[in-house]
Amino acid sequence: MYTFSHKLRNLAFTFMVIGFIGLVYGFLSAPSTVEEAKAMVATEHYGENHDTDAATHHEDSSHADQTHDNSHQSEGHSESSEQVHDTSHDEHLLHQLQNKPWAALYVAAFFFFMISLGVLAFYAINRAAQAGWSPVLFRVMEGITGYLLPGGIIVIVILALSGLHFNHLFIWMDPEVVAHDKLIAGKTGFLNVPFFLARAIFFLGGWTLYRYFSRKFSLAQDQANDNSNHVKNFRISAGFLVFYIVTESIMSWDWIMSIDPHWFSTLFGWYVFASMFVSGITAIALISIYLKSKGYLEFVNDSHIHDLGKFMFGVSIFWTYLWFSQFMLIWYSNIPEEVTYFITRIEDYNITFFGMVAMNFLFPLLILMNSDYKRTNYFIIMAGIVILLGHYLDVFNMIMPSAVGDQWFIGIPEIGGFLFFLGLFLYIVFTELTKAPLLAKGDPYMGESERFHY
Amino acid sequence: MSNQVIHALYDDDDTLLAAVKELRANKHHIEEVYSPFPVHGLDKALGLEETRLAIMAFIYGCIGFSVAVAMINFIMIADWPQNIGGKPSFSFLENMPAFVPVMFEMTVFFAAHLMVITFYLRSRLWPFKQAENPNPLTTDDKFLMEISLHDNEKELRTLLKKTGAIEISIPQNTEE
């Protein structure tokens, strides 16, 4: 049995406290009137931000010039009914700045929730495939999926607060906007607050139900004399995977893509899946290595770590493939309503947008290519931390541009949100790990998994 | 006398693997093992050097990538400038996204084909080559171990028998 060390518990609480303070600071410092918002931006413009802004604009100006006019036309189109452009622009700015702490909260909440959902999918795949190498890691995976329900509830609460107009993260929730926007008005059959929240609760309910029964059967198998629990687990895992890939896809449209209600991408569900899958596998590897370094998981050998490393490497490339497929098709066809998505990202988010590709693709590609490196804990941890931060940035790039526009900054609220949910994640996951023996000894494939060698 | 060998035939890969370990523990030199399929862990048991094919694959991939860049630059930019996706910039870098699939495929193509060719050459395999296989059974379901003999036939025979060999023979070298 694993005991949650005081050191780690204190660290988790410290993260939560620091993060909470950061978030509160973010909410308190958000402007409440247009004048305040304008004042904030005015001081910022003479501040340090100016240099980097100018640099990024300069880099892209040649690339974006031809398409820039197009994007403005399409944006202007949706707002064309508004006569007083200046005041609407200022209000827009106010909304963006008010969104900032909410978006920081939402990005971090979703990111850590996504890790545990990704682990749940990985776990179900291993169960359904009757994988022989991974049963030694089942309890670690079950520990991480312990965060699914609390993390999911937090995300749904944030979505519900958006539905109650505490923030403007989802502009389609604002009846004013919908009234003046034909495109969104056409989508209200799907994008309306009650149906949206009902779907969210249904999805989380389904995932949690699978998690609950799978965990139950897994624990029961430890004491059982036959394989009936294992077989039941196999069946529900196969069923869950079908449910998961449909609901995960719709979830990604709902929770992320609908932040840009005009824009759509048909592979978005896969893209978010790749991101959560690689983050989940990385989390399994990091937590396994941590537990091993503390003297637990003595049955996990470097071949298991090697396999996790291969998954990290492979799924990172899969993620890049989807990232690039999405980018290239939209870049190539250059349809105004689609291409605005990437123009805002390349113009205003240049560093995070391309930095993320370096962190999620180039770095793992070069570091994890060598077979021996995948067996070395040091390399897995280094690559893992970069991958996790890279996928945080990925979620950041998916949500921030439409929520806060060019007013983004990775400052106190963003780091605070990250630390708060990191602390919560660590606390819940490691508490869950103490609840059961770390070896699922009843699993019929345990022998194969323990002898596993490359 | 020095190039005389003894052949031991096995009918199970686990037995073979155990035998290889046993023989090497007794300081016998195993010349070669013939097997109908790759036996997991045999290379380590035989103490073979790690393959350098992976390094070659990386180099071939880099060559393929460079060829793709040069080729696509010549075709699409230099020789006959193309208007790509309605963006007539005629610059390689600005049109790069459209070329990525070509670069990727050429990298894989070069790495895969040159790696296979290298592997064949390194294994001394080419078209119309006569098989060096001493016993055709090793292309079916048997495994053959070839151990060099240094006037220790009796000792080796008992040892091989003990490790589970189903047939032990000394091929007569007719050429010398």
Phi, psi for residue B145 in degrees, rounded to 5:
-115, 135
Q: Which amino acid is at A124?
A: A
Residue A428 lies in a domain: yes
Least confident of A80-89, A159-168, A310-319: A80-89
Residue A269 lies in a domain: yes
- What is the Cα–Cα distance from B149 to B155, expressed in whole angstroms? 10
**pLDDT band for position B2 (cuts 50, 70, 90):** low
Domain B5-36+143-169 belongs to what topology? Alpha-Beta Plaits (3.30.70)
Looking at residues A385-408, what average pLDDT do you find? 92
A175: which residues sit within 8 A by CB, 6+ positions away?
Answer: none
**Which is more confidently placed, B159 or A110?**
A110
Mean pLDDT score of chain A, rounded to an integer?
Answer: 88
Q: Does B14 touch chain A (CB under 8 A)?
A: no
pLDDT at position B131 over 90: no
pLDDT tens digits for B111-130? 999 999 999 998 888 888 88
Residue A214 lies in a domain: yes
Is the CB of A328 less than 8 angstroms away from the CB of B54? no
For residue B176 the two structure tokens come to: 């010398």
pLDDT at position A66 over 60: no
Looking at residues A87-91, what average pLDDT do you find? 78
Least confident of A89-103, A223-237, A271-285, A303-317: A89-103
Q: Does B105 touch chain A (CB under 8 A)?
A: no
Residue A67 lies in a domain: no
Residue B162 pLDDT: 87
Percent residues over pLDDT 90 in chain A: 67
Q: What is the ipTM of this complex?
A: 0.77
Residue A60 pLDDT: 43
Residue A59 lies in a domain: no
Residue A248 lies in a domain: yes
Which residues of chain B have a CB within 8 Å of the CB of A334? Answer: 85-87
Is the CB of A328 less than 8 angstroms away from the CB of B97? yes
Which DSSP category does B39 fall into?
A: P
Domain span holding position A362: 6-30+85-451
pLDDT at position A403 over 90: no
Residue A69 lies in a domain: no
Q: Closest-CA residue in chain B for A60?
A: B94
Is the CB of A334 less than 8 angstroms away from the CB of B41? no
pLDDT tens digits for A12-28? 999 999 999 999 999 99
Residue A157 pLDDT: 96
Is the CB of B98 less than 8 angstroms away from the CB of A328? yes
Least confident of A391-405, B89-103, B161-175: B161-175
Looking at residues B42-50, what average pLDDT do you find? 87
Ordered by start, the domain boundaries in chain B are 5-36+143-169, 53-122
**pLDDT band for position A2 (cuts 50, 70, 90):** confident
Is the CB of B98 less than 8 angstroms away from the CB of A63? no
Residue A85 pLDDT: 60
Q: A336-348 and A350-357 are packed helices; what angle lies between their axes, rounded to 10 degrees? A: 90
Residue A162 lies in a domain: yes
- What is the Cα–Cα distance from A291 to A141, expressed in whole angstroms? 13
Q: Does B86 touch chain A (CB under 8 A)?
A: yes
- What is the Cα–Cα distance from A445 to A7, expressed in whole angstroms? 34
Looking at residues A267-271, what average pLDDT do you find? 94
Q: Does B41 touch chain A (CB under 8 A)?
A: yes
Least confident of A42-46, A190-194, B18-22: A42-46
**CB–CB contacts below 8 A, A to B:** 23
Residue A52 pLDDT: 43
Mean pLDDT score of chain B, rounded to an integer?
Answer: 88
- What is the Cα–Cα distance from A110 to A116, expressed in whole angstroms? 10
Give burial (CB, 10 Å; 0-12/13-18/19+) of A25.
middle
pLDDT at position A31 over 90: no
Q: B96-122 and B53-72 are packed helices; what angle lies between their axes, rounded to 10 degrees? A: 140
pLDDT tens digits for A279-306? 999 999 999 999 999 999 999 999 999 9
Looking at residues B31-47, what average pLDDT do you find? 89
**Which of A63, A327, A369 has its CB closest to that of B94?**
A63
**Which of A66, A332, A371 has its CB closest to that of B98?**
A332
pLDDT tens digits for A175-194? 888 888 888 999 999 999 99
**pLDDT band for position B170 (cuts 50, 70, 90):** confident
pLDDT at position A59 over 90: no
Q: Closest-CA residue in chain B for A326?
A: B97
**Which of B54, B58, B100 has its CB closest to that of A324?**
B100
**pLDDT band for position A58 (cuts 50, 70, 90):** very low
Which residues of chain B have a CB within 8 Å of the CB of A371? Answer: 54
How many domains, in total, are found in chain A?
1
Residue A84 pLDDT: 54
